Structure 1
Amino acid sequence: MKLAIVTSYPPSKVTLNEYAYHLVKSFRQNEKVTELVLLTDETPEGKEINFTENGCKVTVKECWRFNSYANVINVVRAINIVRPDAILFNLQFMKFGDKKVAAALGLFLPLICKLKQIPTIVLLHNILEQTDLECAGFTSSKFLQKAYYFIGTSLTKLILKADLVAVTMDKYVTTLQEKYKVNNIKMIPHGTFEIPKKPSHILAKGPLKIMTFGKFGTYKKVEPMIEAVEKIRASTGLNLEIVIAGTDNPNVPGYLASVKEKYKNVSQITFTGYVEECEVEPLFNESAVVVFPYTSTTGSSGVLHQAGSYGKAVVMPNLGDLATLVKDEGYRGEFFEPENVASLADAIEAIVINDAYRIALGEANYKAATAFPMERITNMYLNKFQEIIFNKEASESIFSDSLSI
């Protein structure tokens, strides 16, 4: 199968590029795939496709730009050139831009591919029905929120024209089926990127690193974490380092710079900036605890799956999709009340003062992560593509037979 994937891709800064990297890494090692064609966003640097493992040919066609109104034309042109056997979209609603028209236009692509008779699957990482627009940084206006939800409903109907829409949580399937009355939705888990055969729970000498990872400024705020660690330092005297790994959310440019200025007198605090793929493993391995300082959630957490794969203890709010992952996939952690510094401090302290408990949480999360390696996830997609192709061929055969009668 010659499989095309429409996605952002490293070194892109557009959302979901890291997920795409691991999808590609797994797809190319599957014997069912003869060639991968990546229809990606344009970046000044070359794409990261120098894999060490054996696998199929990978071709990159940079054919769209964030916030460009010409993305539909350019992507369709690229599809016409490469002529894939099947196509996978790695999507969320603001994939093609944070300007509303550009973002919306890009979401017409699955329908166009369906009309072109190309077997099409959309991996939709979040759904508007489960998104708090104010917390996610879109708008606090109730009027505009209603407008967004109306537009989002229309765009969801477009996306649902694909042969199959894959979502990463069972509750998303139920929500979409009940609202849109469709039966082409399938839950395919998020999956775990890298799974070391035996993660080490031994930490290097020096300060215990309390780490958070992501794009910050909307529903991910780091101030409570900094203040919680300061509180633990004062009450216990523990040697703790704060590690804030990642960048601003595109909707809140300058957020981390303002935090850095506000807490410039706080000792042992590190802002890593953008984390390259090769830096992810050491970042997690060196951390004692991974914290999720969230006030809301917008989908299955890639960071939680990464923390699990490296056998890390986590601290998270017991809300939304994080609570669902704990229930459905077996992750464990210490919970805190969102935006409550004292509650967050208690949760972090419960782990850092008890090494046996830290290790037990890490082992439980590693066990949860190993249940869904990317190899298993990509095989699910390929099986679904084969079903779609078989059904299309069967329908064409029936139609041909009916014409000959």
Structure 2
Amino acid sequence: MTDATDSTRPDADGQPAEHSPDRSVVVPVYDERPDVWTALVERLRAAGWDEVVVCLDAPDDDTARAAERVGEHAGVALAVSDDRRGKGGALRDGLATASGDVLGYVDADGAVAVEALDRLYRSVEWGTAAVAAGSRDAGDADRTGQSLLRRTLGRGYRLLARGVTGVPVTDFQCGAKAFRREVWDAVAADVDETGFAFDTELLALAHRRGFDIREVPIAWDDPGDSDVDVGSDVPDLLRSLARIRGTLRTTPRALPDGGDDGGAVATEPTDGDPPDDTADRDAAAEGDGGGDADADDPMHVALVTSHPPNRGHLAEYGEELARAYAARDDTEVTVLARRTDRAPAVEDRGDYEVRRVWERDAARSAWRLFGELRDGDYDAVQFNLHMTYFGTTNAYRFLGLALPPLCRATLDVPVVTTLHDLLEIVEEDHVDDTVGTLERVGARAATQLVLLSDATTVTAAEYRDVVADRYPLGEAVHVPHGTFVRADGGAAPLEPPLRLLVFGFLGPTKDIETTVRAFRDVRTAVPDAELVIAGGSHPDYPGHREELESRFGDDPGVEFIGYVEEDELDDVWGSATAVLMPYHTCTGVSGVFQLAKSYGKPVVAFENDGMRTSTVETGGDAAFVDPGSPAALAEGIVDLWDDRERLRDIARANAAAGDAVSMTETTDRFVELLADPSTATAAATDGGEGA
């Protein structure tokens, strides 16, 4: 082996190259023409590599004879297996035997030129990266001769792999990598993949261990005879991603001795002098564009959400979130809202702007929204979603929910999705009656798509656990719903009349019929009791409120007051003694319960798993009764009215819970994720709760 102190070896261009560490490169060979890989070995030795480790799997007679000839050359080592180890298995064995200070590997088919590999090694030797990864997509990289199908599959895999690993590289599978020996020493014991997912696992573990990764653009010439089989290897890669996700969850996050700064990923220019390390790190910290941005400029957030004057579908939540962003010094926000005839296309709300650019049940809306995000001057994107956000039919819903991963794959800004509901939270007996198998499969596929955002947040801890158990790709972080800033009730009115409030959009999931029948019994015990039913028809069930009012509007003490405008909320909620939540099921954290916490109001709710998850498991308290039973609901209400101390205790618990996690604190966590989505992977894999 050449003396490691020699710093004037020729580089691949025949020019002096100042690299003193010993270089080892592993070349995995399986079913490759001997003249192709032997020529590569010769070029590597001529270009100054100290050691070339050739790993041959199940060689035929011609390959074995070629290996015997090549193995006679100084600086060439052979690792031969009679069985098929797989690309990853061969690389593991080869890297374990390599002796250089800088290690790496390159595919045997010649798709990556030796000159390109030399740039990777120089990046490591100059100290600008612990890991240099060849990229066919970054910067001025080029893919020659690759089919459209393989390009498409490559983009899809990149999206999935980034969602699983949190490593923001453009190309996981390029067969050219270089890294310091200490990187391999730190991760070797945890590397399990023996197939084509070896590259992904290596990068994921190096990133997890705190080593910084630099992408080096390369030209890649597809020889057209790859042994990757779409039918068999693509499913294997997906299964491998699920295994890698499990490995990362059990791998501690730590900086090894001499490790670099936090696992940043940057892109290196193709040519030129050794880059200034400090400048590169500063540029990497500030993102693309480097030091051009003013560090004091606020982050411009595009908030994709429904917004008043539209009603329902998180419109009120979107408004509160926009206000919280606008109140900060470090963010400015533009709301990209659903169109409505009741408001202009662009509206100045004083402290933020609303641009109404999309519609429900319209395929063109997805592209219009994507175009706005692509062409707008945004630093980050947040989607605020229900599963049914973008349409009343599954096709439109699925198309809309594909937008977050599409934006992540194509926009050069962080994309965070806040998901307010999951199909799995719906009561199973209710799902079986209303949702078919195909719809459930589609809903779960849509959820999996959403989880491929840079970061995905959920509003309840149980939702995070459901994602971890049922979805192999991507993570979810629990960021609490947050309570709204309202007039401080703090305690329910304890003097008559007993005023019961049902609040929110009216649809089949709210059992108003049982509620009114129960109220008739309540009036027997408390003659001056009142039942106020506030809210219009659910957007998906037009006319539902009107039908209910025609049936029950003349009942003594019952009043339907319709949709409550913003300036009327304090009066309606402030005068309520208790809030009723007679829901059959609840698929997301209840905004009504969060309002009850904001106003410090006691709650009486139907007892079911979905309701507990959506209410008291987010903080606060409620009295629960058997669902669908007028007698049980009436008894629960009357007992609570008779036990004023219990009524006061629930009110106090909800007021305290409302103070505990405000929308301001929730927005703090969103800003952290938008600024650095990798904190989502850290929180999820470390079991963090979020805010």
Under TM normalisation by the shorter chain, which class is it? Answer: 0.7 to 0.9
Q: How does 1:272-291 map to 2 (within 5 A)?
A: 272-291=561-580
- Give me the TM-score of the superposition, normalised by structure 1: 0.87
1:42, distance to aligned residue in structure 2 (A): 0.9
1:339 is matched with which residue: 613, 628, 632? 628
Deviations 1:121-161 (A, max 9, x none): 0000001222248747xx836xx511111111221121111
1:246 is matched with which residue: 524, 528, 535? 535
1:338, distance to aligned residue in structure 2 (A): 0.3
1:369 is matched with which residue: 642, 646, 658? 658
Q: Which position in structure 2 is the counterpart of 1:182?
A: 473
1:327, distance to aligned residue in structure 2 (A): 5.4
Q: Which position in structure 2 is the counterpart of 1:266?
A: 555
In 2: Cα distance, 1:231 partner to 1:366 partner: 29
Q: Which position in structure 2 is the counterpart of 1:10?
A: 308
The size of the alignment, in residue pairs, is 379
In structure 2, the residue corresponding to 1:304 is in which secondary structure? helix
1:37 is matched with which residue: 324, 328, 334? 334
1:14, distance to aligned residue in structure 2 (A): 4.3
In 1: Cα distance, 2:650 partner to 2:677 partner: 40
Indicate if the aligned counterparts of 2:487 and 2:570 stay in contact, CA closer than 8 A: no
Deviations 1:149-192 (A, max 9, x none): 11112211211110011001111111112222235310001110
In structure 2, the residue corresponding to 1:70 is in which secondary structure? helix
Indicate if the aligned counterparts of 1:135 and 1:218 stay in contact, CA closer than 8 A: no
Q: How does 1:152-171 map to 2 (within 5 A)?
A: 152-171=443-462
Indicate if the aligned counterparts of 1:336 and 1:347 stay in contact, CA closer than 8 A: yes
Indicate if the aligned counterparts of 1:7 and 1:40 stay in contact, CA closer than 8 A: yes
Indicate the structure (1 or 2) with the bigger Cα radius of gyration.
Answer: 2
In 2: Cα distance, 1:325 partner to 1:296 partner: 10
Q: Which position in structure 1 is the counterpart of 2:642?
A: 353
Identity of aligned pairs, percent?
27
| Greater relative CO, 1 or 2 (CA 8 Å, sep 6+) | 1
2:440 is matched with which residue: 149, 159, 164? 149
Indicate if the aligned counterparts of 1:3 and 1:84 stay in contact, CA closer than 8 A: yes
* Superposition RMSD in Å: 2.3
1:50, distance to aligned residue in structure 2 (A): 4.1
1:315, distance to aligned residue in structure 2 (A): 0.3
**Aligned amino acid, residue 117 of structure 1:** D
Deviations 1:55-88 (A, max 9, x none): xx51221110121111111101211332210000
**2:512 is the alignment partner of 1:222:** yes
1:254, distance to aligned residue in structure 2 (A): 2.5
**Aligned amino acid, residue 662 of structure 2:** P
Mark the CA change 1:214 to 1:202 in structure 2 (over 3 Å): closer, same or farther: closer
1:326, distance to aligned residue in structure 2 (A): 5.8
1:318 is matched with which residue: 607, 615, 618? 607
Deviations 1:75-131 (A, max 9, x none): 012113322100000001110111222222111210121012220000000012222
Indicate if the aligned counterparts of 1:195 and 1:370 stay in contact, CA closer than 8 A: no
Moved more, 165-174 or 259-268: 259-268
Indicate if the aligned counterparts of 1:220 and 1:294 stay in contact, CA closer than 8 A: yes
Indicate if the aligned counterparts of 2:604 and 2:636 stay in contact, CA closer than 8 A: yes
- Give me the TM-score of the superposition, normalised by structure 2: 0.52
Q: Which position in structure 2 is the counterpart of 1:398?
A: none
1:206, distance to aligned residue in structure 2 (A): 6.3
Q: How does 1:49-64 map to 2 (within 5 A)?
A: 50=349, 57-64=351-358
In 1: Cα distance, 2:428 partner to 2:541 partner: 14
1:229, distance to aligned residue in structure 2 (A): 1.3
Deviations 1:374-396 (A, max 9, x none): 000000000111223899xxxxx
Q: Which position in structure 1 is the counterpart of 2:69?
A: none
Q: Which position in structure 2 is the counterpart of 1:54?
A: none
Indicate if the aligned counterparts of 1:315 and 1:348 stay in contact, CA closer than 8 A: yes
Mark the CA change 1:39 to 1:221 in structure 2 (over 3 Å): closer, same or farther: same
Q: How does 1:52-91 map to 2 (within 5 A)?
A: 57-91=351-385
In 2: Cα distance, 1:63 partner to 1:310 partner: 34
| Structure 2 unaligned regions, length at least 5 | 1-298, 681-691
In structure 1, the residue corresponding to 2:503 is in which secondary structure? strand
1:198, distance to aligned residue in structure 2 (A): 6.0
Moved more, 179-188 or 283-292: 179-188
In structure 1, the residue corresponding to 2:456 is in which secondary structure? strand
Moved more, 371-380 or 331-340: 331-340
1:266, distance to aligned residue in structure 2 (A): 0.8
1:15, distance to aligned residue in structure 2 (A): 0.8
**Aligned amino acid, residue 517 of structure 2:** E
In structure 2, the residue corresponding to 1:308 is in which secondary structure? helix
Q: Which position in structure 2 is the counterpart of 1:403?
A: none
**Aligned amino acid, residue 514 of structure 2:** P
Indicate if the aligned counterparts of 1:14 and 1:95 stay in contact, CA closer than 8 A: no
Indicate if the aligned counterparts of 1:88 and 1:121 stay in contact, CA closer than 8 A: yes
In 1: Cα distance, 2:620 partner to 2:496 partner: 28
In structure 2, the residue corresponding to 1:158 is in which secondary structure? helix
In 1: Cα distance, 2:430 partner to 2:546 partner: 20
